[in-house]
Amino acid sequence: MSSPRRVVVTGLGAITPIGIGLDAVRTSLRAEKSAVGMITHFDPSPFRTHIAAQISGFHAEDHLEAKRVKRLDRFGQLSVIAAKMALADAGIDMAREQREHVGVMMGTALAGVGYAEEQLGRYLVGGLRAVDATLALAVFGGASSCNIAIETGAQGPNSTNAMSCASGAIAIGEAFRQVRDGYADVMIGGGAEAPLAPLCFGAFALIRAMSTRNDDPTHASRPFDGARDGFVMGEGGAALILEERDRAIARGARIYAEIVGFGSTNDAHHMTAPLPGGSQAARAMQQALARADIAPTDVEYVNAHASATPLNDPTEVDAMRTVFGDHLDTVWVSGTKGYHGHALGASGAIEAVICMLSMQDGWIPPTVNLETADVACHVRHVPKGGIAQTPGVVMSNSFGFGGINASLVFRTPA
């Protein structure tokens, strides 16, 4: 059996509330401003929460042919455009590729459910003839990776997982495995989410998981802060190009980082509450490090899941303490959802993009809105202004409803 192949990240694509494209994301990160505001996609007045992180200035027609735009709902558009951005950033021309060796792995929590909700409204008013004929092709999760394949011609391994808020990270991890084990030479891995519709939004409002800081939206998402009161829902799409290392070097590709580890576990405990103590979240991190053959003491930065919910943040800190011990006091930790909100299944992909920019630019972003850290969240928080440092080893965590835990490990290319 041949040895595992090395895998590098050569392209990034991002459509987020803090910017469309890498330059816009970089600028917003440095500005340390939250994208959270009052919801304009629909009337939120029936709910306790009236705020979200919405993408502004996004016009699918700027990126796709009008015919394709009409065949894709917002979820599909975010998926396809993020992937095309990543391929362009990687300098990969699919017309010249062996398409059977290029695959797609994506993640989403709710897929096209928001679009289905909109179409149900049309059905109730105008009957079946009022419904978009593409509905059946848009609502299922696999529409993400399949539409990317149709758009790009990628004929390799293809799947979209629906593992709640860990979906994007799991997709990247599975894409990594496909290249590492020789099933593909190039994989598009990422996540997309378009959940800002009344029923989708209201479902989370019902379980009181979201912040109600309606009078101060930009300070509502407060990872690790003692005054946090829940997550802020967001939307977005992000993708990474994962490529076999020797191939990437041979074609002169820019390499953001090498992806070296992936771990995933389940709490088997509760649909919304994390397992107290975070033992399974810790095990996901330990798996990722062990499979990367990297010691915990080598990790310099952790991009935490840090959803800003009362239970998640301290449980994640407990899990990190289990993994890193006293070394945690020397590891920089930040959570970026204060910037871009929580885009559910896309969050892990968005945060992976931010990790790549951090390694490329030599700057670690802070935790926006962290004013007074919860005593139960004692870590080495990245302060305002960020840290001018190129982290050699980075861990990115994503945890989701249903007890899903996922962890990715990247290191500077060598």
> Mind giving me the DSSP string for 169-222?
HHHHHHHHHHHHTTS-SEEEEEEEE---SHHHHHHHHHTT-B---TT-GGGT--
**Residues present in the chain in total:** 414
Reported as a pLDDT band with limits 50, 70 and 90, residue 414 is: confident
What is the torsion angle, in degrees rounded to the nearest 10, for the CA atoms of residue 26, residue 401, residue 270 and residue 395? -30
256 occurs within a structural domain: no
**Do the bridges between strand 186-193 and strand 158-161 make them parallel or antiparallel, or are there none, so unpaired?**
unpaired
**Do the bridges between strand 51-53 and strand 36-38 make them parallel or antiparallel, or are there none, so unpaired?**
antiparallel
Annotated catalytic residue, options 50, 342, 377, 381: 342
Residues 87 and 234 in one domain: yes
For residue 231, give the 3-state DSSP assignment.
strand
Residues 271 and 243 in one domain: no
Domain boundary (215, 231, 250) is at 250
Q: pLDDT tens across 22-40, in order?
A: 999 999 999 999 999 999 9
Q: Is the pLDDT of residue 232 over 90?
A: yes
Q: Is the pLDDT of residue 2 over 90?
A: no
Annotated catalytic residue, options 305, 340, 355, 377: 305
Partner residues linked to 306 by β-bridges: none
Q: What percent of the chain has pLDDT over 90?
A: 99
Mean pLDDT of 362-368: 98
Q: Is the pTM of this model over 0.85?
A: yes
Residues 38 and 121 in one domain: yes
Q: State residue 210's pLDDT score.
A: 98
Q: Within 2-91, where are the H helices?
A: 22-31, 66-70, 74-90
**Cα 238 to Cα 169: distance, rounded to the nearest angstrom:** 11
Q: Is the pLDDT of residue 172 over 80?
A: yes
294 occurs within a structural domain: yes
Residues 157 and 17 in one domain: yes
DSSP secondary structure letter of residue 371: S
Give the CATH number for residue 129. 3.40.47.10
What's the one-letter identity of residue 246? D
C-beta neighbour count of 411 within 10 angstroms: 20
Residues 233 and 130 in one domain: yes
Reported as a pLDDT band with limits 50, 70 and 90, residue 3 is: confident
**Do the bridges between strand 404-411 and strand 257-266 make them parallel or antiparallel, or are there none, so unpaired?**
antiparallel
Q: Is the pLDDT of residue 397 over 60?
A: yes
377 is catalytic: no
Q: pLDDT tens across 111-122, in order?
A: 999 999 999 999
Q: Is the pLDDT of residue 409 over 90?
A: yes
**Total structural domains within the chain:** 2
Q: Is the pLDDT of residue 1 over 70?
A: no
Q: pLDDT tens across 177-213, in order?
A: 999 999 999 999 999 999 999 999 999 999 999 999 9
Q: State residue 276's pLDDT score.
A: 97
Element (H, E) at 229: none
340 is catalytic: no
Domain boundary (217, 250, 283) is at 250
Reported as a pLDDT band with limits 50, 70 and 90, residue 302 is: very high
**Cα 47 to Cα 363: distance, rounded to the nearest angstrom:** 38
101 occurs within a structural domain: yes
For the stretch 131-151, what's the b/e string if a residue is b when 16 or more beta carbons lie within 10 angstroms of its beta carbon? Answer: bbebbebbbebbbbbbbbbeb
Residues 240 and 101 in one domain: yes
Annotated catalytic residue, options 165, 200, 355, 377: 165
For residue 66, give the 3-state DSSP assignment.
helix
Partner residues linked to 236 by β-bridges: 193
**Cα 63 to Cα 55: distance, rounded to the nearest angstrom:** 15
2 occurs within a structural domain: no
Q: How far is CA 288 from CA 169, 201, 316, 333, 366, in A?
A: 12, 33, 16, 17, 24
404 occurs within a structural domain: yes
Q: How far is CA 73 from CA 68, 77, 133, in A?
A: 10, 6, 12
19 occurs within a structural domain: yes
Residues 269 and 293 in one domain: yes
Q: Which long-range contacts (CB under 8 A, 24 or more apart) does 118-126 make?
A: 118/197
165 is catalytic: yes
Residues 74 and 217 in one domain: yes
Residues 27 and 175 in one domain: yes
Domain boundary (231, 250, 269) is at 250
Q: Is the pLDDT of residue 292 over 80?
A: yes
190 occurs within a structural domain: yes
Q: Which long-range contacts (CB under 8 A, 24 or more apart) does 1-4 make?
A: 2/182, 4/180, 4/181
Q: pLDDT tens across 37-76, in order?
A: 999 999 999 999 999 999 999 999 999 999 999 999 999 9
Give the structural domain span for 22: 7-250
Residues 107 and 237 in one domain: yes
Residues 218 and 364 in one domain: no
